[in-house]
Amino acid sequence: MERYSKKTLWPALALVLALLTATLAGAAEKAAPKKSVSEQILEILLERKIVSREKYQELKEQVVAEREAAKEAGAKKFQVKYLKAKGLALESKDGKNSVRFTGRLQLDGKMFTEDHGQSSSMYVRRARLAARVRWHQYYSAVVEAEFGRGKTFLNDAYIQFAWWDPLRFRFGQYKQPFSLEEIQSDNWIWLMERSLINSLAPSRDLGAMAYGMLGPRSLFWYLSLSNGQGKNESNDVNESKDLAGRVSFAPLRHTGKSYFQDLYLGGSFTYGDQNSKASDWWRGGKMVTQAGTTWFLVDPSVTENGVRTRLGAEIYWAVGPFAFMGEFVRADFQGLIKGEQNNDLAIWGGYAQASWMLTGEHLQYKYGKPGLITPKRNFGWGAGKGWGGWQLVARYDYASADSGWRSLGYVDPLKYSDGARGWTLGVNWYLNDMVRTMFNFFHYSFDQKVLVNDTLIDHEQGFMGRIQFVF
């Protein structure tokens, strides 16, 4: 005998369907959008015959249209915007809050024209990704990671308070305010690599900085306190901190003459009491050429127990499509100890470089450093397009060290030199504000022969090229 008969099955199915229908109707009622106050008032007016049905329908359509417009305006409170040379950003309508994901990719190649201990090669010079956040207009944070040359590490990580242009604050890991060349972004440096004296600059470190701008781009000032150990070194090797400062000002801007508007003079310094081995110094006590050749290296066993100071002087001048910049830097090391020896020694040097924009662009000076370079007309075909921006660059740079570095054994005299000098010529093509190609020819000579792997050289020369994408 069947367990369930048709007489009992059909009523059961009907009950299930009824329950399901009631459930779906309740869910639909909950899912239905709640009527606005305006719509409820219109229904009351219609029920009481205060308005006609035609007028009711007209007013209801108007209420719905206003509601949709309000939703659309709310959706546009944050909007995606394209920022020149900075890529895409999610920004609030009032501009006080934003999130930007930026990056850069630099693909390089180098080739030596003569015998050299290094091989010609192609490599990823820089590959960086960063998140840049700004909120409530005055507060911002930056976190940037580097993936170039097969290494991964934290580059920038800082928070800024920008309540007032003359006085702002920065905390975290950032570039120390020393050397115009160093603080200029490598997105926009005129040659592929910085000069010989860049090895003396402290670059990034952990600390706190106050800085600001006075007048309409008339004076920029910076004062920073840091560990003095370089980036990603969270444990300082001594109790002392390094003090760094920089000032850059336009002495003749007030004259109103166009050719003095971007003439800037400046100076910078660092001061710190050291107690560390050379291997713990910034850049490990190493100095390199544009091609990456190490021509000066302090013995890792050398200890510095004294004051280290750096002094720098700088100039920047841009008139029309022409621009010039130069620096002189000196670093003094006190209390250099190796065995029974204790000496004070120094390293110094400088550079001068000039740029000519063949396509007429003016290289402006912004926020205390040379700004981004954008072509007047992007490269392309069709109406409004052009050949992009073309730039010619020439630089002479040199660096020298006291002879005692080698004669006293602080630097291996069989491998390294106490002086280098050279020149570089460059051609840059800016296809648009985000894509650039670079081509350099360099020649450097050394005061004494330098050992590169198993090859002794007294000079080097060659070509370098780069394709760069910035977003």
Between β-strands 167-175 and 204-214, what pairing exists: parallel, antiparallel or unpaired? antiparallel
d(CA 173, CA 155): 8
Q: What is the pLDDT of residue 85?
A: 63
Higher pLDDT, residue 329 or 38: 329
- Asked whether 395 and 195 are in contact (CB, 8 A), the reply is yes
* pLDDT higher than 90, residue 391: yes
Give the count of alpha carbons within 13 A of 470, CB side only.
20
Model pTM score: 0.82
Alpha carbons within 13 angstroms on the beta-carbon side of residue 351 total 29
Q: Specify the pLDDT at position 96.
A: 86
pLDDT digits (tens, 9 = 90+) for 116-151: 988 899 999 999 999 999 999 999 999 999 999 888
Query: pLDDT at position 237, please?
Result: 67
Return all residues near 19 (Cβ < 8 A) that are at least 6 apart. none
Q: How far apart are CA 301 and CA 278, in angstroms?
A: 7
- Mean pLDDT value of segment 270-287: 86
Residue pLDDT, tens place only, 282-321: 788 899 999 999 999 999 999 999 999 999 999 999 999 9
242 contact partners, CB below 8 Å, separation of at least 6: 176, 202, 205, 207, 225, 226, 227, 228, 270, 271, 272
> What CA–CA distances, in Å, run from 303 to 2, 203, 276, 326, 332?
98, 21, 6, 32, 14
Between residues 210 and 258, which one has the greater pLDDT?
210
> Which tens digits make up the pLDDT trace of 75-126?
557 788 777 766 678 888 787 898 998 999 999 999 999 989 888 999 999 9
CA-wise closest residue to 123 among 192, 33, 221: 192
Banded pLDDT at 188 (limits 50, 70, 90): very high
Work out the pLDDT band at 216, boundaries 50, 70, 90.
confident
108 close to 120: Cβ distance less than 8 angstroms: no
- Distance from C-alpha of 112 to C-alpha of 316, rounded to nearest angstrom: 32
262 Cβ neighbours under 8 A, 6+ residues apart: 250, 316, 317, 318, 319, 323, 362, 363, 364, 365
Average pLDDT for 222-249: 87
**Greater confidence, 51 or 227?**
227
SS3 call for 29: helix
The pLDDT tens digits of the residues spanning 13-27 come to 454 445 445 544 544
Between 61 and 353, the higher pLDDT residue: 353
